[in-house]
Amino acid sequence: MAETTLKAWHVRVQGRVQGVFYRASTQQQAHQLGLRGWVRNCDDGSVEALLCGEQAALDAMLAWMAQGPARARVDTLQKAPAEVPDNNDFEVRA
């Protein structure tokens, strides 16, 4: 994957997204799509993520995140362009 084709998004998801395996499911989905970055819970009950990869994979991931895992309820998903991260994996952060 050439660096020039990589894009990154900072994403915040609000709704019922904590305590429903949203982070673990996001990590699993990211691995399937070949993305790198991270996901973590926020103090306000939202989930925050940094996604990095090729456009088609990012589009698929954002579509998945707008629904989330079975027990989640996504009310809003906000995204903003971000810097491409240095890490080469996708991690769940505390």
Catalytic residues: 23, 41
CB 31 within 8 A of CB 63: no
What residues form DSSP beta bridges with 5? none
The crossing angle, in degrees rounded to 10, of helices 55-67 and 22-33 is: 160
